[in-house]
Structure 1
Amino acid sequence: MMTVDVSEAGQEIEKLLALHPKGFDLSLDRITRLLDRLGNPQDRLPPVVHVAGTNGKGSVTAFSRAILEAAGLSVHVHTSPHLVNWHERYRLGRKGGRGELVSDPVLADAIRRVADANAGEKITVFEILTAVTFVLFSEHPADVVIIEVGLGGRFDATNVISSPAVSVIMPISLDHQAYLGDRVELIAAEKAGIMKRGRPVVIGHQEEDGARSVLVSIAERLGCPLSVYGQDFMAHEEYGRLIYQDEDGLADLPLPRLPGRHQYANSAAAIRAVKAAGFSPTDMEIEKGLTSVEWPGRLQRLTDGRLAAIAPKGAEIWVDGGHNPGAGQVIAETMANLEDRDPRPLFLIIGMINTKDPVGYFNAFKGLAEHVFTVPIRGSDAGIDAVALADDAASAGFKTSPASSVSEALTEIGDIFATGQQVPRILIGGSLYLVGDVLADNGTVPA
């Protein structure tokens, strides 16, 4: 099933895509020039929480937003990429309540104004859409802004914020090596580019000591007030509760609504970031944030919808857009924890794009998954062919089957379990593009 974006904003973006190159061009010259023509809206924002990292950016953004909104604050949020609709990248805060995705007429108008200001000069579409972020967020009042980095940090188009309330660096692993380098230390140095002299920095849980050392060294050189996970703040589970600790003491909180043990550290980074940015949420407000948080397409459970109806009755279906080996490890850990509590055969339905490391991703699921179905990605022209991806899964030691679509893979899984065997657990993932297609086809579009 193919979805077509008929929104006014979507049509404006299609015009831009026809005029300007796709992808990233890591430099700040073009975005700086464009923002100057627009009156530098990035300098007229409320306090900014700026978030970078290989994995966990979206989760810490979602937790931070939920905690701040629970405190009654209005929160603008910029994320990328979107899953189904471009509007998902721009959430406008609402005082005393949950923010809402920007309306189509407002977004279309902002895109036209930014494109007019650019006057046809060389630029990427991502840079134009980032400028749209600053225009929208400067024109609509709010108490705080959360901005997620698109790629890297130092030369990302969002990195024109001169004085963030806090810069947050989440877990770093290998990804986008062609742009950022082939060692975690190099990638860490690029992501540390969002740190600004004398401004607070929060470093989330880092599996790689080399990445942590680079981040700490740069923050100290810049004289940044620094909070490091495992040293200045931390969190762990105890008797089914989340115990968070920082210099203010201990907080006994409910476990986060988002599944997976990795969310303990992600939620802790959000709590610390909100505090470092100058806000003082109460334990009750933090509790409300942790239990109300939403983050579509990241270990999201599909319980109903058009695609879910194709799966075997009673099957447990999860979707997650994680697409690199580091993400594979935390997703696999969550699947293993689910297996411990409720043993079921695990099937993977995976699609990936050609800039990723499929074998590294699949290796995380060794000993967990029974069978890998590989599918093409409709939402990207960089998708790996399903047969080639099946070869990658086979080289990692899995029984594999290429399929023409997610629905075909679900049907095949249904045929396997037609005889009344134990119903399976199914993970659909490997790409945010694939997850976006799945949510659209399932009829469960993010709002």
Structure 2
Amino acid sequence: MNTVALGDLVLTNAKIVLANEVLEGSVRVDGGMITDIGTPSRTGVDLDGDYLIPGLVELHTDHLETHYAPRPKVRWNPVAAVQAHDAQIAASGITTVLDAIRVGLDEHADMGATEMRILADAIAAGSKAGRLRAEHHIHLRCEVSAPDCLESFMAIKNDPQVRLASLMDHAPGQRQFANMDAYKIYYQGKLKMSDAALEEFSQRRNAESQAYAGPYRRAIADACKDLGIVLASHDDATRAHVEEAEALGIDVAEFPTTVEAAKASRQAGMAILMGGPNVVRGGSHSGNVSARALAEADLLDILSSDYIPFSMLQSAFSLTETVDGYSLAKAIQLVTKRPAEAGGFNDRGEIAIGKRADFVHVRVEDGIPIVLTVWRQGRRVI
């Protein structure tokens, strides 16, 4: 979809969610940029008193892979997968997205290392052809305990689409899966392994973690610094994990699993990112810390959709109902301004003069935010 900015656009009769307040009035756009806010207008697109919020900025979504590999051993056409993913992303109010692509695999992941390149090329082709509604970039999910992680990272690190890399280790008994019962439920449910097979798998994954995780973290972190790629640490659980991340120059703490790790991340100056599904469900599916609890403690900076695109918008509105003192303006920052800043997107993420005209028209019905219209750079895409 061609998103070249149109001429003048006026959106009127809206509750405009600014960075720190909600203002009733109009917004004017010229050349894809915001040129006026609040001035009353009798002409333009009437939003019927609904909310106008900035386009959402998504730093971590695993959703693309579910379109490309919807079932074990099933592969969808990558161009079709990207188009389907893009449509759902945009319809969820997301105008800028970092698509997570896994780097570092094992035989149980059901995906080969070459498929990372296939998906990256499909994203690039869609962007070049102008047929994507959202603006797409790449987030590399680096499984540092996998033997092929560093080699695979080096093969894709110079792709200009790459904006962020997260360092993760899903070996059992630590980080996300410190609770072995949760690990067993997740992996046996996903991979249908017997108890004996799971035991063998766990022992091997732990051995690989011991061998590769430390040196691969350092090597990937060093490369990202040289290339200007934003760095994230994934599932930190202890102060020691955070100290290691701080030493590597980590910018974003993705999904800290404990209050201890979240507090240490804040003290280290990292932006704390949690998943929208955690907020909406009221807790982590792995039994880790609640995102609402971190919001209540003012230890939450960014929300991502993780594995459900619409959860990003839904979770922001949910916080205003479930956490005392959480204003809508503050909640919307978690899915717009704050992730834009963390991702280095300084031209978007808030409704302000001089910023990009990325907007979402939202109506709340029975407590659920409904996306009615989406504009990117002043052009309607939904």
What range describes the TM-score normalised by the shorter chain of this pair?
A: under 0.3
Q: Normalising to structure 1: TM-score of the pair?
A: 0.25
Give the TM-score taking structure 2 as reference length. Answer: 0.27
Q: Which structure: greater strand fraction? A: 2
